Amino acid sequence: MSERERLNRLVSDYGDLTVKRFFNLDAQAYRAGALPARTKEIMGLVASFVLRCDDCILYHLNRCREERVTDAEIVEALGIGLVVGGSITIPHLRRALLAWHEMRP
């Protein structure tokens, strides 16, 4: 069982209805609709990036790999994040690119 699975197990054991519904809602928000799932994952990445959450960035980078987002698309998305969020995001940019690089097929 991975660290992430172990932690999700804990959330599931302790979580009440509010917590569980939130997790369902979180999954639902990224399902394909008027916008394709692929675009939504890039948006989730940009939102996570400007809010500076490494775990969230990593999660969306993984989903972007699954959705076959290209290097150029990732860099443009992170570039928007960098301009919007400023130099305070630079350490996250470095770690995001390293993670993206290491998960290349």
Residues that bind a copy of itself (CB under 8 A): 7-8, 10-11, 14-19, 21-23, 25-26, 28-30, 33-35, 39-40, 42-44, 46-53, 55-56, 70-91, 93-95, 97-98, 100-101
Which of 66, 92 has the CB closer to a copy of itself?
A: 92
Q: How far is the CB of 32 from a copy of itself (least distance, A)?
A: 10
Residue with Cβ nearer a copy of itself (66 or 79): 79
Residue number, 67 or 75, with CB nearest to a copy of itself: 75
Nearer to a copy of itself (CB atom), residue 36 or residue 66: 36
Q: Where are the alpha helices (DSSP H) in the chain?
A: 3-14, 17-29, 37-50, 54-66, 71-85, 90-102
Handedness of CA 48, 54, 56, 58 (dihedral sign): positive
85, two tokens: 């969020």
Residues in CB range of 11: below 8 A, 6 or more apart: 19, 23
